[in-house]
Amino acid sequence: MKIPEGIYRLEDPGMAAFLFSGRREVMADACLQGMMGCVYGTAGGMDSAAAVLGDFCFLAGKPEERLIAWDYGRQYLLLAPPDAAWRELIKKVLGDRAREHTRYAIKKEGDCFDPGRLRALAETLPAGITLSRIHGELYGKCLKEEWSRDLVSCFPSCEAYEAMGLGVAALRGNELLAGASSYARSRDAIEIEIDTREDMRNRGLASACGAALILECLERGLYPSWDAHTEISAALAEKLGYHVSHPYVVYEVEADKGPV
C-alpha cells in the first residue's frame, strides 16, 4: 500500500496518544499501544493523527484534509471524527461519498454485569446447538463467509488470533451459526463483534455468544467494550447489562474507484 505524500506511518504510535487524550476507544488504544492497526500523522508536526484498524479510522487533533482524503487502502471505511470541525471538513472534502451514519456509544462501566444472568443467557440455546471457543479450524470457518469474517478478520493469522484474540461460536455440529469475538484487542480490553447468520437470527444465539464472551473476559481481567452500529446492537448490549451513553455520528466511505 502506497502512502500519499505528506502522510507517514508513526514508528512509535504512542507519540500520538496525547491527541486522543480523554477518549476511551479500545480500537484507538490498540493502535496507540502498537498491538494492532496503524497510526498515521502528517508532515509538518504532530498536530493531527488517524488511528486505523479494520474498517475504522479514528481522527484526532487539528482537522487535516490529507487524513480525510486518503482511503488507507480500504474499500470501505468508517471515519470517526471527534468534533464538529472534523465533521465539517469531512463533508467538504468527501461530499456525497461520505454517508452520515449514527452509532451508539455504550458506557464503559466495570460493575454493570450480572454473572448469574449472563450464565443463564449463555446456557439458553436451541436444541442441537452448542457453544465453542473460536480457535484453529473455527478461525478459518469465520473467514470463509462474508457474514462472519469480521469476527476474526483484524487478526492476520490463526496464530495471531489465538495469541491475542478471544471468541465464542455457536455451532450445530460443525456448522457455524453465530459468534461473538474480539474485533480488536488492547492491553486490557477487547472490542466486541457479534454476528449471526441471517437465517439463524432472533433465536438467542447472539445473546448466548455475547454472554459467554463477556464472562470469559471478566475471568481474564479484560474489559469487554461494546460500541453499537445500530439500535438493534444497542438493545442487545442493554440485554447483556450495558447502558447506552449517547448517539454519535460517523461517516461511511467507499473507496473512490475513479472514472470508469
Per-residue pLDDT of the chain (260 residues; tens, 9 = 90+): 789 999 999 999 999 999 999 888 999 999 999 999 999 999 877 899 999 999 999 999 999 999 999 999 999 999 999 999 999 999 999 999 999 999 999 999 989 999 999 999 999 999 999 999 999 999 999 999 999 999 999 999 999 999 999 999 999 999 999 999 999 999 999 999 999 999 999 999 999 999 999 999 999 999 999 999 999 999 999 999 999 999 999 999 997 755 43
Q: Are residue 89 and residue 28 in the same domain, yes or no?
A: yes
The pLDDT of residue 259 is 44
Q: Are residue 79 and residue 130 in the same domain, yes or no?
A: no
- pTM (2 decimals)? 0.94
Is 58 part of any domain?
yes
3-class SS at 203? coil
The pLDDT of residue 157 is 95
Q: Are residue 237 and residue 193 in the same domain, yes or no?
A: yes
DSSP-derived letter for residue 192 is E
Q: Are residue 141 and residue 199 in the same domain, yes or no?
A: yes
Q: How many domains does the chain have?
A: 2
Is 2 part of any domain?
no
- Give the Cα separation of 177 and 155 in Å (integer): 21
Residue 68 host element (H or E) = helix 65-69
Q: Is 96 exposed, middle or buried (0-12, 13-18, 19+ CB in 10 A)?
A: exposed
Q: Are residue 235 and residue 133 in the same domain, yes or no?
A: yes
The CATH number that applies at residue 85 is 3.40.630.110
- Give the Cα separation of 9 and 220 in Å (integer): 32
Range of the domain at 171: 115-242
Q: Are residue 152 and residue 98 in the same domain, yes or no?
A: no
Q: How many CB atoms lie within 10 A of CB 235?
A: 12
- With beta carbons less than 8 A apart as the criterion, state whether 83 and 23 touch: no
Q: Are residue 120 and residue 167 in the same domain, yes or no?
A: yes
The pLDDT of residue 23 is 87
Is 109 part of any domain?
no
Q: Are residue 233 and residue 119 in the same domain, yes or no?
A: yes
DSSP-derived letter for residue 73 is T
Per-residue HEC secondary structure of 1-45 comes to CCCCCCEEECCCHHHHHHHHCCCCCHHHHHHHCCCCCEEEEECCC
- Give the Cα separation of 39 and 191 in Å (integer): 18
The 167-172 sheet, strands edge to edge: 130-133, 167-172, 175-185, 189-196, 223-225
Q: Could you tell me which residues come within 8 angstroms of residue 185 by beta carbon, excluding any fewer than 6 positions away?
A: 26, 30, 35, 36, 164, 165, 166, 191
Q: Are residue 149 and residue 86 in the same domain, yes or no?
A: no
Q: Are residue 185 and residue 220 in the same domain, yes or no?
A: yes
The pLDDT of residue 257 is 56
Report the interhelical angle of 115-123 vs 205-220 (nearest 10°): 140
The pLDDT of residue 260 is 37
The CATH number that applies at residue 162 is 3.40.630.30
Is 259 part of any domain?
no
The pLDDT of residue 24 is 86
Distance of CA 21 to the CA centre of its chain: 19
Q: Are residue 89 and residue 150 in the same domain, yes or no?
A: no
Q: Are residue 181 and residue 227 in the same domain, yes or no?
A: yes
Is 260 part of any domain?
no
